[in-house]
């Protein structure tokens, strides 16, 4: 099911899907949450843009979510890539360069360190909506990237997916992509954009990102659903809880009896569904929650 289609059924999901947990069940009792964490056998961390924003990664959501004069979401579509691949590549080149310079913050590190300490006695899975690679760079091993990765490419012809950390990814993009309001369009020839290096292919490469209107990878989605369906505790970290299908994961886990704790700067539409809510920067609250 495509992201766009899932959005169209959002109202149905909210109205019909699961019984609402009373807001009175929410708590900011950190010792009580840590007690639940200690007894858990399967733990899922579901992360969103908020945790990476603390590392300086633009969220491109809400007010100010522009690149140059474009709404970022308008460039993250198959149609935008078909009509102007050079412009889309400039946008993603900019995002790659920003992400490459960013460093995992205390929230990313707390998650990775917790996995390193308890990976032998607990099943710990990190499901992220982020594409910046910061969880992996922090040291997380059991990682599910729902929406792809900025540092992977996919050939539009042979479909091969490869890791690529080159900076720039091709010479034509060197020094390009800055969010300059005076720059319109892109004059980079398509022949100078990244292409598949296999002699028998040579197809145009695209970022390995799930764009609006595209399906999530079925295997990746199934793996995420399986982890969510069996976890005892779920940490919802820095996500707006409005992008589907990930927005359904934690409320459904809470409805079946898993303990769910939200870590965020502000309450979200799903906050009242959860047992715990810890307000503040993830880089502050997560180290406290995951400490020994």
Residue in 147, 195, 208, 275 annotated catalytic: 147
The tally of CA atoms less than 13 A away on the side-chain side of residue 177 is 24
* Beta pairing partners, 44: 125, 234
Q: To the nearest 10°, the Cα dihedral for 215, 82, 154, 129?
A: -40
In sequence order, what DSSP letters do the residues of 67-115 get, joined into one string?
ETTEEHHHHSSHHHHHH-HHHHHHHHHHHHHHHHH----HHHHHHHHHH
Please state the length of the chain: 292
| Contacting residues for 265 by C-beta, under 8 A, at least 6 apart | 50, 238, 279, 280, 281
Q: What does each C-alpha distance from 106 to 47, 54, 265, 281 come to in angstroms? A: 14, 9, 15, 10
Residue 268 · residue 241 · CB < 8 Å: yes
Provide the annotated binding site for Zn(2+). Answer: 155, 158, 196, 201
> Does residue 185 sit in helix, strand or coil?
coil
Q: Is 47 left (phi over 0), alpha (psi -120 to 50) or beta?
A: beta
Provide the annotated binding site. Answer: 48-67, 92, 95, 129-132, 155, 158, 196, 201, 238-240, 264-266, 282
The tally of CA atoms less than 13 A away on the side-chain side of residue 174 is 4
Provide the annotated binding site for NAD(+). Answer: 48-67, 129-132, 238-240, 264-266, 282
Q: Is 147 a catalytic residue?
A: yes
Q: Which residues are known to be catalytic?
A: 147
């Amino acid at each position: 099911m495509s992201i766009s289609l899932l959005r169209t059924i959002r109202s149905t999901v909210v109205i019909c899907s699961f019984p609402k947990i009373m807001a009175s069940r929410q708590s900011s009792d950190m010792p009580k949450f840590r007690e639940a964490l200690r007894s858990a056998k399967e733990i899922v961390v579901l992360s969103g843009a908020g945790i990476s924003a603390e590392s300086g990664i633009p969220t491109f959501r809400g007010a100010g979510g522009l690149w140059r004069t474009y709404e970022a979401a308008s460039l993250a579509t198959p149609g935008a890539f078909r009509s102007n691949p050079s412009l889309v590549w400039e946008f993603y080149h900019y995002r790659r360069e920003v992400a490459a310079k960013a460093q995992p913050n205390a929230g990313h590190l707390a998650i990775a360190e917790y996995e390193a300490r308890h990976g032998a006695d607990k099943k710990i899975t990190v499901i992220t909506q982020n594409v910046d690679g910061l969880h992996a760079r922090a040291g997380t091993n059991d990682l599910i990237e729902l929406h792809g990765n900025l540092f992977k490419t996919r050939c539009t012809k042979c479909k091969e997916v490869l890791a690529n950390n080159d900076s720039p990814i091709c010479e034509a993009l060197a020094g390009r992509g800055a969010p300059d309001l005076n720059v319109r369009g892109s004059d980079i020839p398509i022949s100078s954009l990244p292409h598949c290096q296999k002699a028998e292919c040579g197809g145009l490469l695209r970022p390995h990102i799930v764009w609006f209107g595209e399906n999530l990878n079925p295997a990746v989605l199934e793996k995420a659903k399986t982890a969510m369906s069996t976890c005892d505790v779920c940490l919802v970290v820095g996500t707006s809880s409005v992008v589907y299908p990930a927005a359904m994961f934690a409320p459904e886990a809470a409805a079946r009896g898993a303990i769910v704790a939200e870590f965020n700067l502000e309450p979200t539409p799903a906050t009242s569904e959860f047992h715990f809510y810890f307000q503040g920067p993830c880089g502050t609250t997560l180290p406290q929650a995951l400490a020994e």
